[in-house]
Structure 1
Amino acid sequence: MEVDDGAELCFPQLLNTSCRKPTLPLSEAVFLDTLVFSISVLTVALNLLVIISVSHFRQLHTPTNILLLSLAVSDLIVGLLLMPLVILRITSCWFLGDLMCSLYKYVSYIITSASVGDMVLISVDRYVAICHPLHYTTRITVRRVKLCVCLCWFCSVFYCSLFVKYGVTQPDRYNSCYGECVVLVDHIAGAVDLALTFVVPVTVIIVLYMRVFVVAVSQARAMRSHITAVTLQSSVTLTTKKSELKAARTLGVLVVVFLICFCPYYCVSLAGDSLLNTSSGTFVIYLFCFNSCLNPVIYAMFYPWYRKSVKLIVTLQILQSGSCETNIL
């Protein structure tokens, strides 16, 4: 690799094989580093609060919250591991070696697949709750949801192991110089991955939520006008139905934000790392990671139990004996 005299290299001792350092202005690099670091810390803190809340308080051990717990775990990993490595890969040289580069890509694939799987499960949960409410308690149980979550993570790990096996066994296969982190896949594998982790899941999510939206609107109109057999139902049943509709709206916002943040990443990644290294590619990567910070913010906006549990956690009241039985709903 030829370089101009005076050019800054990632590894000056490797004059002919070292990559050049990114040409970002110092002020811009410092700003991006500070911004991403702050978002990373915020992402870890907020998702850790979600994990502690759902795990600690017994009232929150519901099928829907188990799915939110799984999503929070993937978001926590994004904030804890992927965000710092993303800023290192984009604004600086890659000093962690080829193997860590492959592991970084491997973990990012797993987290992406698991998050998409969680969103599909959340959509199925709301579909059954709204469209088949009488069968919800028998079909959607905590035990079944935990099994589905475990299968989702296992399939993500297994699938990604097959998908990036060449990148892990031959970590420097696509690098053109030292200080670069590139792991590419061929067009056939990329097309299969696009279909399995984006096209099919997103289609399922959209179809299920369109059905949920139609049924939810009809149920809301029926409850307002009292033209259905509402008078034959107890007030408890009405309250339950309203809470399910509210949960559907909240999780609908979660799904829409997810699609907004993930779709650009998949569209840009189709062109490979060459486009991901451009300014537009950098933006969609940041947007992809920022979704992990937005999810717990959505919970705080729409879920009173989350705000109440955060207050109990921050004030250390969860350390008291029997705090897991606290009425949090």
Structure 2
Amino acid sequence: MEVEDGAELCFPQLNTSCRKPTFMWSDVVLLQIVLYFVSVLTVALNLLIIISISHFRQLHTNTNTLLLSLAVSDFLVGLVLMPGETLRQTDCWFLGDLMCSLYKYVSYIITSTSVGNMVLISVDRYVTICDPLHYPTRVTDRRVKLCVCLCWLGSVFYYSLFFKDELPEPGRYNSCYGQCLLVISYIAGVVDLVVTFITPVTVIIVLYMRVFVVAVSQARAMRSHITAVTLQRSVSLTTKSELKAARTLGVLVAVFLMCFCPYYRVSLAGVIALNGSSAAFVLYLLYCNSCLNPLIYALFYPWFRKTVKLIVTLQILQPGSREANVL
């Protein structure tokens, strides 16, 4: 946040008020338009995912339950985190110290839940590809929903410990009124890096390497003439669909890593006050992952394109629309 000596105060009636950020008016308007547009797009796209998976019975699968949880966290990023970060970077923080602390608390919960959802998606694909015969018994609807709930509740509990000192004393790191700093100590940053990034990412990479090896071996087996033709056809149809799903989710994970890695790399730089332009950029990049995920669905999932058409044309309001064939 750039300021000048002649800049106006955020709260002129207070001697301890911060100065308003001094940007070119045209730059601020352009930046806010772009950021709010991305925010609205993120909300709209993820809302379509939520409605699609929730409404159509054919999409009520274990994998889609995990995608639904991811879409909810991405929806909250667009609805809460992106507008909050835009306000924090381009204007004074007029919402008070308590809302600042709550904003930081919620932002960490949502982003860590996204990481947890990615781990669950990777485990689901691993069992599907590497142990398909036991998938129905090991990955049940009840277990998937339990894991999703634990993912969200675990993030809430973990960051309640993380912010136990700041929540009772909001604004303790702010030097003036109208400021909302995201301050991470070195020790807390390293612990958070290990718990919410290095460990989950290691699990994701190991699982997808295993999935890749098995997928290659299955592709070779389908091309061999050892198996009977009739058996080969039945296996081929099932395996191709599973390999396509694994490939799609592999792209999802790759984009996730590209968006999240810069932020966690910056978090290793000691005590960080996330209000500089470079730090703001890595935060925006992290949040943009929530907008990219639905675009990946649109590119790789035909059912998403079908359901969007039914939603936009309001055909989902017709009786029996839940039973529509969207696969």
TM-score by length of 1: 0.94
How far does residue 270 in structure 1 lie from its aligned partner after superposition? 3.0
The answer to whether residue 178 in structure 2 is matched with residue 156 in structure 1 is: no
Match of 2:49 in 1: 50
Counterpart residue type for residue 182 of structure 1: L
Q: CA deviation at 1:138?
A: 1.5
Partner of 1:288: 286
Does residue 249 of structure 1 match 2:251?
A: no
Provide Cα deviations, 1:237-277, integer angstroms capped at 9, x if missing partner: 32111000000000000000001101111111333674632
Matches within 5 A, 1:25-44: 25-44=24-43
Q: Any conservation in 2 of the 1:269–1:276 contact (CA below 8 Å)?
A: no
In 2: Cα distance, 1:85 partner to 1:254 partner:
25
1:43-192 maps to which residues of 2 (within 5 A)? 43-192=42-191
* 8 Å Cα contact 1:61-1:142 kept in structure 2: no
Q: Secondary structure at the match of 1:167?
A: coil
Could you tell me whether the CA contact under 8 Å between 1:269 and 1:275 is conserved in 2? Answer: no
Partner in structure 1 of residue 13 of structure 2: 13
Q: Deviations over 1:124-181 (max 9, x none)?
A: 0111111111111221122211111011111111111111121211112111111111
Task: Quote the offset at 1:232 in angstroms.
Answer: 5.8
Q: Letter of the 2:143 partner, please give it.
A: R
State the alpha-carbon separation in 2 of the partners of residues 66 and 4 from structure 1: 50
Question: Could you say which residue in structure 1 is the equivalent of 2:258?
Answer: 260
Distance 2:303 2:96 in 1: 44
Identity across the alignment (%): 71
Q: Is the 8 A contact 2:181 2:274 kept in 1?
A: no
CA contact (8 A) 1:67 1:118 kept: yes
Gaps in structure 2 of 5+ consecutive residues:
none
Q: CA RMSD for the aligned pairs?
A: 1.7
CA distance in 2, matches of 1:44, 1:183: 24
Equivalents in 1 of 2:5, 2:284: separation in Å?
Answer: 33
Equivalent position amino acid for 2:72 in 1: V
CA distance in 1, matches of 2:241, 2:174: 53
C-alpha contact 1:57 1:326 (8 A) present in aligned 2:
yes
Q: Which residue of 2 aligns with 1:318?
A: 316
Q: Partners in 1 of 2:317 and 2:90 — Cα distance? A: 42
Q: Which letter does structure 2 place at the counterpart of 1:102?
A: S
CA shift for structure 1 position 313: 0.7
Partner SS, residue 75 of structure 2: helix
Structure 1, unpaired ranges of 5+: none
Structure-1 separation of matches of 2:81 and 2:255: 20
- Encode CA deviations 1:300-319: one digit per residue, 9 max, x unaligned: 00000010011111111111
1:226 to partner: Cα distance: 2.0
* 1:273-310 deviation line (CA, Å, top 9, x unaligned): 74632222121111111111100000000000010011
Q: What amino acid does structure 2 have at the position aligned with 1:35?
A: V
What code does the residue aligned with 2:6 have? G
- 2:101·2:167 contact (CA, 8 Å) conserved in 1? yes
